[in-house]
Structures are given as C-alpha cells and as structure tokens.
Structure 1
Amino acid sequence: MPHTVEWKVRLYLFEDEGTTKAQVVLDDGTTVLTGHGAAHRNPADVDVPEIGDELAAGRAMHHLAQQLVSAAERDIEGMGATGPGSRPVVGWLM
C-alpha cells in the first residue's frame, strides 16, 4: 500500500547585531511544529552572516527533529507498544 504525503517546511532567519535567530515551521496538514535556534557572534570575530545562518538554522532544525521523534514515540506508546528503552532496537536507526 503506497503512502505519499507532502509536508511543508519554512525556515526564517533573522540577524541583528551579531545574533542570528532561526525559526523552522513544519506543517503536515494536521499539525504545525516549530523549532527555534540561535547563534551569537563574538564581537571580536569577523562578521560572516552565513556562519550564523548555518548555526541558527541547524539548531532550529535539530529542535524540530527532537519534537518529531518525541511525537513518534508518544504515538508508538499510544498504540500499546512498549517504549524505546524496553524493547530490542530495530528499524530506522540513526
């Protein structure tokens, strides 16, 4: 049984005086999750906005990923399955 869905992801970056903030929004059509991240430049460092963008965006996506994994774990437990620590490790490992 094929399963195809489209999730929309938007990434917003804001930079102000050496601080870059990122917000990533995932909309799966039913639920919207938001991840946040920030990067702070040391005033003594050279101003390279791309580095702040990369760090802040990566941190925001990591925050979002943690939320997705937590949601999946709750859904697994809601199906009556045991939690990840109480069963053999199989499947989609990273």
Structure 2
Amino acid sequence: MDATTTWTTRITIGEHDGRTRAVAHLRTRDLDELVGVGFTRLSPADPDVPRIGDEIAVARALVDLGHRLLHVAAEDLEEVTGRPAHLVV
C-alpha cells in the first residue's frame, strides 16, 4: 500500500551574549512533538558572521533531534517485538 505522511519541522534561532541557540521542533503523527537543541558561540579569533553561527547551531539541533527520534523509534520497536532494539545512526 502506498501512503504519504507529512511531518513538520520548525526551527527557531536566537542569539544572546555571543551564543547562538537553535531549537528544532518536529511534529509527527498523532501530534507528538520532539525537540532538539543546538548551541554555538563565536570564537574570539573568528570573524563575526551570524549566518555561519546559525548554520552550526541548526545543524547541532537537527543532530540532537535525530538522536531523540532514533531513541523513540527504538522504544517503539522494542514494544512491538518484545526484544531489545539497537538502532544505529
């Protein structure tokens, strides 16, 4: 059976005191929401290019979100199979 499902990701980025924080919100089936967070800070030796800090913080937030989603999937798989699940990224 063919099916299409849409999950929505919303990312917010904020800067404060030389640090950038990105929060990735993933809305899945049944209105569940997972959240991943990533941070970065400007090194004194680097030029101040906010876009690059945003990219790094968002990438870290998405990696965190991916790990959290994989953990949820492993728990769901264990519940269905009754056996330990060892999912690898």
- Output the TM-score relative to the length of structure 1: 0.82
Structure 1: stretches of 5+ with no match in the other structure: none
The structure with more helix, counted as a fraction of residues: 2
Asked which structure has the greater CA Rg, the reply is 1
How many residues are treated as equivalent by the alignment?
88
Work out whether residues 77 and 85 of structure 2, in 8 Å CA contact, stay in contact via their aligned partners in 1.
no
- Would the alpha carbon gap of residues 76 and 29 (structure 1) be closer, same or farther in structure 2, given more than 3 Å must change? closer
Could you say what the CA RMSD is over the residues aligned between the two structures, in angstroms?
A: 1.9
Matched, 1:7 2:7: yes
Structure 2: stretches of 5+ with no match in the other structure: none
1:42 Cα offset (Å): 1.4
- Output the TM-score relative to the length of structure 2: 0.86
Give the fraction of aligned pairs with identical amino acids, expressed as a percent.
Answer: 34
Work out whether residues 11 and 58 of structure 2, in 8 Å CA contact, stay in contact via their aligned partners in 1.
yes
